[in-house]
């Protein structure tokens, strides 16, 4: 007898593999088997009737800054460009401590679950106090969320030509010592891991060449992945040309990061030749549609990048730019941006869903186990739900209806074989009290008390 059987579902199992009126069986923390209506179902301890709804792999968030939900919709920066936005928020983020980091991570993960996300990285790049990533792993363990932490860092303060204040930067030796500690304590390379760690100097304008090279050396030694922001803003081009005498992508290549173990966020302003070079080098990228639109900063041409052979995932980015953390919203906005840029025949819901699942898993180097529902994959999946009014008339294509109609939310979210959202409601005990504590911390950090 298997543990969970989901039946009467439209199964999107992987790119080019769907089953109408199908069933999917979970045994412990893995996909056991799948089948169509004509195939016998295994006996199960628990049966969930999807009632014809769409079931997909859990969405994979390949770029996030979870701590930023403490400064959502912060009024003084809502009309700012990227660099000004950062400069005004850095002093607030300097107030982060372990409790604030734990609470922001916990709330972010619950929000992600409600938006159908079962695995998320987090690019934690401000470290005004020690052991903030430890607090993140504590939240992930308590919830049962699959978490890919990224130890970000900044070394160049405003006094040295960077953007952040001095109390948010660290020296290279301190950073690398903490990277070593975190990998030893939390990185699990084993199959089915619930926690892994990557290295992520934040950007060329806030991180030195030395820390970029040091992280590359450690990543190659310990088989870790590398992450950074790249070609996100035209001001970044100006900065790179003035400081390094080259474009951001050329700098990225010079420090040795053009490798299959690297994935980059945004990548809005590369040249065609730069796209070709990074695609050939095996670098993946993350489009963050909502954030880039919210800050009015342009957006990557995801379909063009995919056509050039680059693997493309989706990310929510920080909650202080998107002001939400719904991967469903990111998939919808990715589809809409693709169609605006390249026409209605260029991109459909399946393209966006592939980016939100397989694409994100590839960015994290985890495509063998997550981002699909083939037998043997991790048991991370979503049964989607919307109101009957929202879906009225959508009869012919459940996947297209998933993004065209809505809003759609996760009715049931399963991570590692465990139900964490049911009937559209999070199952985490004590969530109301956690929200109250989060509000207290947000008021403190925004200096509203």
Taking only the tens place, the pLDDT of each residue in 201-250 is 999 889 999 999 999 999 999 999 999 999 998 888 898 999 999 999 99
Token pair belonging to 141 = 């363990």
Q: Note the pLDDT of residue 295.
A: 84
Residue 444, pLDDT > 90, answer yes
Instruction: Please give the CATH superfamily to which domain 59-363 belongs.
Output: Metal-dependent hydrolases (3.20.20.140)
Q: Note the pLDDT of residue 83.
A: 84
Q: Distance from CA of residue 308 to its chain's centroid?
A: 22
Locate the domains of the chain by residue range: 2-57+378-426, 59-363
β-strands 262-266, 44-49: how paired? unpaired
DSSP single-letter state for residue 379:
-
User: For 405-411, what is the mean pLDDT?
Assistant: 96
β-strands 54-57, 381-385: how paired? antiparallel
CB 88 within 8 A of CB 144: no
**Alpha carbons 17 and 13: distance in angstroms, whole number:** 6
Q: Strands (DSSP E) along 174-324, which ranges?
A: 195-201, 226-230, 262-266, 284-287, 312-314
> Which pLDDT band, with edges at 50, 70 and 90, does 158 fall under?
confident
Listed in sequence order, the DSSP H helices in 263-322 are 272-281, 289-294, 302-307
DSSP single-letter state for residue 23:
E
362-264-79-128 Cα dihedral, nearest 10 degrees: 100
> Which pLDDT band, with edges at 50, 70 and 90, does 93 fall under?
very high
Q: Strands (DSSP E) along 331-373, which ranges?
A: none
Token pair belonging to 363 = 């960015």
> How many angstroms separate the first and last alpha carbons of the chain?
55
Q: Note the pLDDT of residue 260.
A: 98
Listed in sequence order, the DSSP H helices in 35-97 are 82-93
Q: Which residues contact 227 (CB under 8 A, 6 or more apart)?
A: 63, 121, 123, 150, 152, 198, 199, 200, 262, 263, 264, 265
Question: What kind and span of H or E run contains 414?
Answer: strand 409-415
Instruction: Please give the CATH superfamily to which domain 2-57+378-426 belongs.
Output: Urease, subunit C, domain 1 (2.30.40.10)
Q: Which residues contact 436 (CB under 8 A, 6 or more apart)?
A: none
User: For 281-301, what is the mean pLDDT?
Assistant: 93
**Alpha carbons 182 and 138: distance in angstroms, whole number:** 13
Q: Note the pLDDT of residue 139.
A: 98
- Tell me if residue 261 falls in helix, strand or coil: coil
Q: Note the pLDDT of residue 302.
A: 96
Residue 51, pLDDT > 90, answer yes
What sign does the dihedral 365-321-143-180 (CA atoms) show?
A: positive
Which backbone phi and psi does 349 adopt, to 5 degrees?
-65, -35
> Which pLDDT band, with edges at 50, 70 and 90, does 81 fall under?
confident
């Amino acid at each position: 007898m298997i543990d969970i059987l989901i039946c009467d579902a439209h199964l999107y199992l992987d790119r080019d593999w769907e089953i109408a009126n199908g069933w999917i069986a979970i045994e412990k923390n893995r996909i056991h088997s799948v089948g169509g209506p004509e195939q016998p179902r295994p006996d199960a301890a628990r049966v969930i009737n999807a009632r014809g709804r769409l079931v997909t792999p859990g969405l994979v968030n390949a770029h996030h800054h979870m701590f930023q939900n403490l400064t959502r919709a912060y009024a003084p920066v809502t009309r700012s460009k990227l660099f000004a936005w950062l400069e005004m928020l850095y002093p607030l983020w300097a107030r982060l401590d372990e409790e604030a980091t734990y609470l922001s991570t916990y709330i972010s993960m619950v929000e992600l679950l409600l938006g159908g996300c079962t695995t998320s990285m987090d690019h934690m790049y401000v470290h005004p106090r020690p052991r903030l990533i430890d607090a993140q792993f504590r939240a992930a363990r308590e919830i049962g969320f699959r978490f890919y932490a990224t130890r970000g860092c900044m070394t160049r303060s405003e006094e040295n030509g960077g953007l952040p204040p001095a109390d948010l930067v660290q020296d290279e030796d301190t950073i690398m010592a903490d990277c070593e500690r975190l990998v030893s304590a939390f990185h699990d390379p084993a199959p089915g891991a619930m926690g892994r760690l990557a290295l992520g100097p934040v950007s060329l304008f806030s991180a030195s060449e030395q820390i970029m090279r040091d992280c590359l050396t450690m990543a190659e030694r310990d088989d870790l992945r590398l992450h950074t922001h790249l070609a996100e803003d035209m001001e970044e081009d100006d900065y790179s040309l003035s400081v390094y005498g080259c474009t951001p992508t050329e700098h990225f290549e010079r420090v040795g990061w053009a490798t299959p173990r690297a994935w980059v966020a945004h990548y809005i302003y590369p040249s065609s030749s730069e796209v070709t070079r990074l695609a050939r080098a095996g670098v993946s990228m993350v489009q963050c549609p909502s954030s880039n639109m919210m800050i009015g900063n342009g957006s990557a041409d995801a379909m063009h990048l995919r056509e050039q052979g680059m693997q493309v995932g989706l990310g929510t980015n920080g909650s202080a730019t998107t002001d939400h953390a719904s991967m469903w919203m990111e998939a919808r906005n990715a589809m809409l941006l693709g169609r605006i840029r390249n026409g209605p025949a260029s991109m459909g819901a399946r393209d966006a869903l592939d980016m939100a699942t397989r694409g994100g898993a590839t960015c994290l180097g985890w495509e063998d186990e997550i981002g699909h529902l083939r037998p043997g994959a991790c048991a991370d999946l979503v049964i989607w739900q919307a109101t009957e009014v929202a879906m009225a008339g959508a009869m012919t294509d459940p996947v297209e209806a998933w993004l065209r109609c809505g809003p759609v939310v996760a009715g049931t979210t399963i991570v590692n074989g465990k139900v964490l959202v049911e009937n559209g409601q999070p199952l985490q005990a004590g969530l109301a009290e956690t929200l109250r504590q989060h509000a207290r911390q947000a008021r403190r950090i925004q200096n509203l008390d």
